[in-house]
Amino acid sequence: MYALNLPSFDAKIRKNGDGFEIFDSLRRKYVALTPEEWVRQHFVHYLITEKKYPASRIANEAAIRLNSLTRRCDSVVYNIRLEPVMIIEYKEPGITITQQVFDQVARYNSVLRVPYIVVSNGISHYCYRIDYETQTYTFLTDIPMYTEL
């Protein structure tokens, strides 16, 4: 697949018909191995192993209602009270992260109102914290540890 700016891991991959599937340990099933899914699985593994995010507090493909439509956040992280605290949007490595990508995740956040937003294409990762009191946001130099959320 693609070389990423994320730690590698022993991904479980199998052939299915003409394509391949990768095991998603959070959803406990094999899913189509697309370039975006490759990024998601690596990023989730990074959060769990390096940033100490509990796997039980991360949801992949979390459904939300936005303007009477169902949309899916690529990943959502929850705190101990099961309140959403981070939305993560993934793009495949060949996709440049643009303002449109930030606008997309901002629309999702209009529903969830999380303090942290992350966007990654597996090569470049952006994380910012939103301060709702001052209506400002701050880009962070690193993804926070789970205990910092």
The pLDDT tens digits for 100-127 are 999 999 999 999 999 999 999 999 999 9
On the question of pLDDT at 1 being above 80, the answer is: no
Q: Quick count: other Cβ atoms within 10 Å of Cβ 49?
A: 12
- Counts for the chain of helices (H) and strands (E), in that order: 2, 9
Quote the pTM value.
0.95
- Domain 13-148 bears CATH identifier 3.90.1570.30: yes
Domain boundary assignment for the chain: 13-148
User: Where does the chain have alpha helices with state H?
Assistant: 35-49, 99-112
Helix (H, G, I), strand (E, B) or coil at 21: strand
